């Protein structure tokens, strides 16, 4: 089945055909580095990594660009409040530049712990001030910019289709507005360049043709994506919260300056929710980091596995029980895979079924079902390994790189452990118990836990081996 993806612009699943044959340009909105990322943020990046892997699985070469927002994102997405970097600087007691570096490094650490493929380009907003000024100048030249006491703004009234991505009712917003808009002409207008407050020296500010200040949040992505991918590229991704403001404004800017909606496909991952169906957020105090999971002996890849169990366009409810279940499933998969020999061939029927689910708008829950059906099949172990290998190029679980804690077990014992894990996966408890007894008879004691089966010790006949 050819690859088909959901496009937020058209609100349809439609066939994906790249603009340039065999090549894909993909821009993903990265973090605002005023604090650590939480696992709700990270769910979006897992979705985008699966998308990239699926594109590569379909034979595309992907140019993947991820930005780092280290200036310009105000505490309200609607250009109100203060710069999050300045606020974060006061909270931590360090310079905005220092916390940007600290939280960028922490984000990249999380990125790699989740087996996310390294982007082709990381780009920081503060490294591209010149490009943003040039973009604003072009918007000014074509008549979309007006000036207020606090900055330059984009006039959304000049575009009949402004907000189409989010299906915004601009007339309703204007009539029912309950917020102060200052000197803005319209409630949907947004900042392109903000002036530094009089008498206050900001940590991050630059000279411009309009006065000293800093860029708005939205202009950075339009400018940087155009620099690295051009004014019309294949895919622009982010979280669902980007649809109504950030991505709508990126489109408006690029339509005005270059006559395109920037990307052929706009794709969005949905929220990770907690109790009462509320999204995880820093401002709400619901802040679980990847390191929080690790402190509870949860492998980061177990969280990645959990993300695969829900479609990227559906809410994923987080609970510790669901994460424990994901860790158990991952452990079983790893142990089974480790016990299978190399040298097999990919099973074409299972491979075709897996590819069909992935290519139907990244239906990973159904793709995982195909994976477990494969594991329970009667195919030779070498075939299982080769086929799961091909699946993992999309799943990104890093199965080939994983090694069990006990690495000095005899090969014959590893084979029995693998057979027992297979029996457990098939819920053949009688066979699993029989193999346990065989292992016990040879001096090996086995314990089942949420991490899977483990050799936790040996009987007195095998005291020379030790635990690990």
Q: Which residues of 413-448 are buried (b: 16+ CB within 10 A; e: fewer)?
A: bbebbbbbbbbbbeeeeeebeebbeebeeeebebee
Distance separating alpha carbons of residues 336 and 51, to the nearest angstrom: 26
Contact indicator for 367, 373 with CB cutoff of 8 Å: no
* Rounded Cα gap, residues 73 and 217, in angstroms: 5
Distance of alpha carbon 436 from alpha carbon 430, whole angstroms: 10
Rounded to whole angstroms, the Cα distance separating 405 from 338 reads: 12
Q: Which residue has the tokens 């994906």?
A: 16
Is 250 within any annotated ligand binding site?
yes
Please give the Cα distance from 392 to 437 (Å, whole number): 33
In angstroms, the first-to-last Cα distance of the chain is 46
How many residues does this entry show for the chain?
A: 468
Give the strand pairing for 74-76 and 151-154: unpaired
282 belongs to an annotated ligand binding site: yes
Does 451 show up as a binding residue in the annotation?
A: no
DSSP of 142-195:
TT-EEE-SSEEEE-GGG-TTTTGGGT--HHHHHHT--S--TT-SSTT-EEEEEE
Sequence-distant (≥ 6) Cβ neighbours of residue 344 within 8 angstroms: 380, 381, 382, 383, 384, 385, 386, 387
Specify binding-site residues for Zn(2+): 29, 221, 246, 250
Known binding-site residue numbers: 29, 221, 246, 250, 282
> Where is the binding site for ATP, in residues?
282
């Amino acid at each position: 089945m050819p690859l088909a993806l959901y496009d937020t612009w058209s609100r349809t699943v439609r066939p994906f055909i790249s603009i340039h044959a065999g090549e894909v340009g993909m821009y993903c909105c990265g973090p605002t580095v005023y604090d650590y990322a939480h696992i709700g943020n990270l769910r979006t990046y897992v979705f985008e990594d699966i998308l990239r892997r699926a594109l590569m699985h379909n034979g595309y070469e992907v140019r993947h660009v991820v930005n780092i927002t280290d200036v310009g994102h105000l505490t309200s997405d609607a250009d109100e409040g203060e710069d999050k970097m300045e606020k974060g600087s006061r909270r931590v007691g360090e310079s905005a530049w220092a916390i940007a570096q600290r939280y960028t490094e922490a984000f990249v650490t999380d990125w790699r712990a989740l087996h996310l493929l390294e982007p082709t380009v990381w780009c920081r907003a503060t490294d591209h001030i010149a490009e943003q000024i040039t973009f604003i100048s072009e918007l000014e030249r074509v008549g979309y910019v007006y000036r207020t006491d606090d900055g330059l703004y984009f006039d959304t009234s000049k575009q009949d289709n402004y907000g189409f991505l989010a299906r915004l009712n601009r007339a309703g917003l204007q009539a029912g507005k309950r917020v102060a808009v200052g000197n803005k002409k319209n409630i949907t207008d947004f900042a392109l360049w903000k002036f530094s407050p009089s008498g206050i020296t900001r940590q991050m500010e630059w000279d411009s043709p309009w006065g000293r200040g800093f860029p708005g949040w939205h202009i950075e992505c339009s400018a940087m994506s155009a620099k690295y991918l051009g004014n019309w590229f294949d895919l622009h991704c982010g979280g669902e919260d980007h649809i109504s403001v950030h991505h709508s404004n990126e489109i408006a800017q690029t339509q005005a300056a270059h006559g395109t909606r920037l990307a052929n496909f706009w794709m969005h991952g949905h929220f990770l929710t907690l109790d009462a169906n509320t999204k995880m957020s820093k401002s709400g105090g619901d802040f679980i980091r990847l390191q929080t999971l690790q402190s509870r002996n949860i492998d980061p890849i177990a969280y990645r596995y959990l993300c695969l169990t829900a479609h990227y366009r559906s809410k994923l409810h987080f609970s510790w029980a669901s994460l424990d279940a994901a860790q158990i499933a991952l452990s079983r998969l790893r142990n089974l895979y480790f016990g299978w020999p190399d040298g097999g061939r990919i099973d074409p029927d299972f491979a075709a079924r897996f590819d069909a689910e992935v290519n139907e708008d990244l239906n990973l829950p159904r793709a995982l079902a195909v994976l477990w059906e494969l594991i329970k099949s009667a195919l030779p172990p070498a075939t299982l390994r080769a086929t799961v290998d091909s699946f993992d190029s999309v799943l990104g679980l890093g199965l080939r790189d994983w090694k069990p804690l006990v690495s000095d077990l005899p090969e014959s014992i590893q084979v029995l452990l693998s057979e027992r894990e297979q029996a457990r996966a098939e819920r053949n408890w009688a066979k699993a118990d029989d193999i346990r007894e065989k292992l016990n008879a040879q001096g090996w004691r086995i314990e089942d836990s949420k991490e899977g089966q483990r050799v936790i010790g040996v009987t007195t006949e095998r005291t020379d081996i030790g635990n690990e």
